[in-house]
Chains A and B, each alone.
Chain A
Amino acid sequence: MVIARRLFLALLCSLWLVAPALAQSGTVILSTTTSTQDSGLLDTLVPLFERKTGLSVKTISVGTGQALALAARGEADVVLVHAPALERKYVEEGKMQNRRLVMYNDFVIIGPADDAAKIKGLPKAVDALKRIAETQSRFVSRGDKSGTHLLEQALWKQAGIEPKGASYIESGQGMGQTLGIANDRRAYTISDRATWLAFQKRIDLPILVEKDKPLLNIYSVMEVNPANGPRINVAGGKAFADFMVAPETQAVIKTFGVDKYGQPLFVPIAGKSDADVQ
């Protein structure tokens, strides 16, 4: 009988965990990219939002491709991602609505200091990729449908090159791990500046190409079409989207990262259009 009593106790214990999970109204599911989470920006912004609205946010941080796919299935209420072309496609299909720009930073092409492909200082990112391909230098791709990967694919397409072969390494992992692999294999790669800054102590891959227009990394927020599925928190999603473009939030974004990296990681651009920025 001792066992029966213990089992009963065990079941009681488990109820203690189940109970709070049953009441979930007032929860907003945000699907977003790993960079917003890894840079620490959301750790700063989400508590501000929660205090302001009393809503609680569940941040699911995955690659941009997956973040949008989840939202299109109605598994999220709002998305914050960085792949303008793909975003516009989802808006045209009616899966997402009310796309608004939030901020940008930029991508950089980095690689070993000895720079075998001689790309240092090239003004055009596309030319850099061409030289990397011509010299068959090693290049590490995210290979995970993330915003960074989509940008990389767009650049290859512009260069008219289909990257393949032993020198083209697909990591299938996040930016941090990919930087580690590139460092280890003495390879070139493309990174967002925020993650590259965060990894300065671990890697020895200087910036070789930067500040080209196509390297802009634009983040926008979009609300999920309530028709995508049941139980979508429409009001909560809209509240979070509004919060991201509100002046007070934009002011926080403007200075975020200065204390840690000596420079801001993002430039706020709420209210602007793609044409203004690019």
Chain B
Amino acid sequence: MGQGIVQAVRLLLAGDPEVWSVTWLSLRISATATLLSLAVGIPLGTTLALSRFTGRGVVISLVNTGMGLPPVVVGLFVTIVLWRNGALGFLELLYTPTAMILAQLVIAAPIVIGLTLAAIQQIPDKFRLQLLALGASRSQMVWTLLKEARLPMLAAVMAGFGAVISEVGASLMVGGNLKGSTRVLTTATVLETSKGNFDIAIALSLILLALMFLVNWALTWIQQRRAA
């Protein structure tokens, strides 16, 4: 472990181009997937929170189940769809960063939907009625609710990002762990472990943890600053 820390610092300080590119790719893919999952998840979560329809309970249960989707299962299904023989085979996306973003989007979206739903629902119903009574239009009302729910929503961002940057099963399957194009921190860690390069594997793990900390630190800073 001590040797791993020394190795990690050395790899970063030496500016090992491969380690940097793997780190940068991890961040790029997972950040893109998280942003897209927000674009999909916030509207869906809000709609689900504010609407009433038959079967709503089932839909919410499905979303809650989706919050714990096993990444390997997502990886397998996205792979099958993207196969040359598959439904979207003509796009030739398998083993590209785009395929990884797609898989990570599927993993993160239910988390964002579920946490958005919870965030909006924890606002008392009376507040919503009051807004409407004060003459707010529906879109103004939704906008105010989202602003009110921004603290738990940032938690949704952190949870979504944390889930996708740390998963390995889906990235390995749909990305193929290709050097220089789809190798990210988690898949590189698996590879180096299987090669017996435990020092490098530990170093990559520490870099991953540091990256997650930095991103969450920034998000927490935004969250707490707005809270104050």
Are B146 and A34 touching (Cβ within 8 A)?
no
B83 within 8 Å of A (CB atoms): yes
- Give the contact stretch, choosing among B87-95, B125-133, B205-213: B87-95
- Give the contact stretch, choosing among A152-160, A227-235, A246-254: A227-235
Are B193 and A230 touching (Cβ within 8 A)?
no
Are A74 and B84 touching (Cβ within 8 A)?
yes
In the complex formed, the residue of A with least CB distance to B182 is A58
Instruction: Among A21, A29, A38, A43, find the residue whose CB has the most chain B CB atoms closer than 10 A.
Output: A21
Instruction: Among A14, A34, A59, find the residue whose CB has the most chain B CB atoms closer than 10 A.
Output: A14
Chain B residues whose C-beta falls within 8 Å of the C-beta of A177 in the assembled complex: 193-194
Given contacts A14-B101, A21-B93, A58-B176, contact A7 B38 (CB under 8 A): yes
Are B176 and A60 touching (Cβ within 8 A)?
yes
Are A230 and B89 touching (Cβ within 8 A)?
yes
Contact residue among B92, B146, B179 (Cβ-Cβ distance under 8 Å from A43)? B179
In the complex formed, the residue of A with least CB distance to B100 is A17
| Proximity bits, B67-100, A CB within 8 Å = 1, else 0 | 0000000000000000111000111111111110
In the complex formed, the residue of A with least CB distance to B147 is A3
| Proximity bits, B92-113, A CB within 8 Å = 1, else 0 | 1111111101000000000000
In the complex formed, the residue of A with least CB distance to B86 is A75
Given contacts A24-B92, A58-B95, A75-B83, contact A13 B32 (CB under 8 A): yes
Chain B residues whose C-beta falls within 8 Å of the C-beta of A60 in the assembled complex: 95, 176
**Bound: A8/B91 CA distance, A:** 23
Given contacts A17-B98, A75-B83, contact A11 B39 (CB under 8 A): yes
Are A198 and B196 touching (Cβ within 8 A)?
yes
Interface residues of A in 107-145 (CB under 8 A from B): none
| Chain B at the A interface: SS class | helix
A258 within 8 Å of B (CB atoms): no
Are A10 and B193 touching (Cβ within 8 A)?
no
Instruction: Please give the distance in Å from B16's CB to the nearest CB on chain A.
Output: 15
**Bound: A58/B95 CA distance, A:** 8
Are A10 and B176 touching (Cβ within 8 A)?
no
A172 within 8 Å of B (CB atoms): no
Are B35 and A13 touching (Cβ within 8 A)?
yes
B170 within 8 Å of A (CB atoms): no
Chain B residues whose C-beta falls within 8 Å of the C-beta of A84 in the assembled complex: none
Instruction: Please give the distance in Å from A165's CB to the nearest CB on chain B.
Output: 27
| Proximity bits, A6-50, B CB within 8 Å = 1, else 0 | 010011011001100110100101000010011000010000000
Are B36 and A14 touching (Cβ within 8 A)?
yes
Total contacting residues, chain B, CB less than 8 A: 35
Given contacts A10-B36, A21-B93, A21-B96, contact A38 B194 (CB under 8 A): yes
Interface residues of B in 149-200 (CB under 8 A from A): 176-179, 181, 191, 193-196, 198
Chain A residues whose C-beta falls within 8 Å of the C-beta of B32 in the assembled complex: 10, 13-14, 17
Are A174 and B85 touching (Cβ within 8 A)?
no
Chain B residues whose C-beta falls within 8 Å of the C-beta of A198 in the assembled complex: 195-196
In the complex formed, the residue of A with least CB distance to B181 is A58
Contact residue among B36, B146, B177, B194 (Cβ-Cβ distance under 8 Å from A174)? B194
Chain A residues whose C-beta falls within 8 Å of the C-beta of B97 in the assembled complex: 17, 21
**Bound: A37/B89 CA distance, A:** 26
**Bound: A200/B190 CA distance, A:** 19
B29 within 8 Å of A (CB atoms): yes
Contact residue among B35, B95, B98, B193 (Cβ-Cβ distance under 8 Å from A29)? B95
B residues near A (Cβ < 8 Å) are 28-29, 32, 35-36, 38-39, 42, 83-85, 89-99, 101, 146, 176-179, 181, 191, 193-196, 198
15 new A-B contacts, CB < 8 A, other than A18-B98, A59-B176, A75-B84, are A13-B32, A14-B32, A17-B28, A17-B32, A17-B98, A17-B101, A21-B92, A24-B96, A60-B176, A61-B177, A75-B83, A175-B194, A177-B194, A198-B196, A201-B196
Q: List 16 A-B contacts (CB under 8 A).
A: A7-B38, A11-B36, A11-B39, A17-B28, A22-B92, A29-B95, A58-B95, A59-B179, A60-B95, A73-B85, A75-B83, A176-B194, A176-B195, A202-B196, A231-B89, A232-B84
